[in-house]
């Protein structure tokens, strides 16, 4: 196996650990429910406890991946791409949603800029996959529909849509990982 192929394999492994997306998607949903003050989510303490539990779940899932598949360190170029992709997401979501909210259009700004930001970041980090385009494209199309004036709060609906998209993409990434890397259980 050539060096470039090994580097691509390490980078693919990093992006295909999809079950780690489930706690992240659930955090978005928990925050939306907290904003709406639904049931126990009306308590800020319950929301914080839920986010903490989901963070612990993320760490447990990450540990499971390390035990099952080992760990790989991406090359510096890949790490730089990952950092750049992160800041692209932050900038696009923050600036894009702020500008769109100010325009007061009948679209859902968060449901538009979040998919664009995630697709851009995955393109930058060379991790864009067909199922990712379909899932986040559906969220983008939903955000562009002129139906977003009035209740329920479009921002919270966008959080739920994005959370579900994140989870669905993660599950599909995990399936791709298990098809690509069939490995024995490692002690790590």
Q: pLDDT band for position 58 (50/70/90)?
A: very high
pLDDT reported for residue 170: 93
Tens digit of pLDDT for each residue in 73-97?
766 777 777 788 888 888 888 887 7
Q: Where are the domains of the chain?
A: 3-180
Report pLDDT digits (tens) over 13-32. Answer: 666 788 999 999 999 999 99
pTM of the model: 0.82
Output DSSP code: residue 106.
Answer: S
Record the tokens describing residue 120, joined without a space.
């851009």
pLDDT at 10: 58
């994140």: which residue's tokens? 166
Confidence (pLDDT) at 184 = 54
The C-alpha atoms of residue 5 and residue 122 are separated, in whole angstroms, by: 19
Is residue 150 over pLDDT 90?
no
Is the link from the previous residue into 152 a cis peptide, with omega within 30 of 0? yes
Query: CA nearest 119: which of 141, 145, 147?
Result: 141
Percent of the chain with pLDDT over 90: 44
Contact 154, 108 (CB under 8 A): yes
DSSP-assigned letter for residue 19: G
């Amino acid at each position: 196996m050539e060096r470039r192929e090994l580097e691509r394999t390490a980078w693919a492994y990093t992006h295909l650990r999809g079950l780690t997306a489930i706690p992240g998607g659930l955090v978005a949903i928990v925050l939306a429910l907290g904003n709406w003050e639904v049931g126990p989510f009306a308590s800020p303490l319950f929301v914080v406890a839920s986010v903490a539990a989901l963070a612990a779940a993320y760490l447990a899932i990450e540990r499971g991946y390390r035990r099952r598949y080992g760990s790989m360190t991406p090359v510096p170029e890949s790490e730089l791409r990952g950092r750049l992709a992160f800041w692209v997401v932050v900038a696009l979501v923050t600036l894009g949603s702020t500008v769109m909210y100010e325009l007061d259009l009948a679209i859902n700004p968060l449901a538009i800029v979040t998919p664009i930001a995630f697709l851009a970041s995955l393109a930058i980090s060379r991790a864009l996959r067909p199922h990712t385009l379909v899932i986040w494209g559906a969220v983008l199309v939903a955000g562009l529909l002129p139906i977003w004036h009035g209740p329920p709060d479009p921002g919270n609906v966008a959080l739920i849509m994005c959370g579900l998209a994140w989870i669905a993409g993660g599950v599909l990434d995990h399936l791709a990982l298990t098809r690509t890397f069939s490995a024995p259980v490692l002690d790590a």
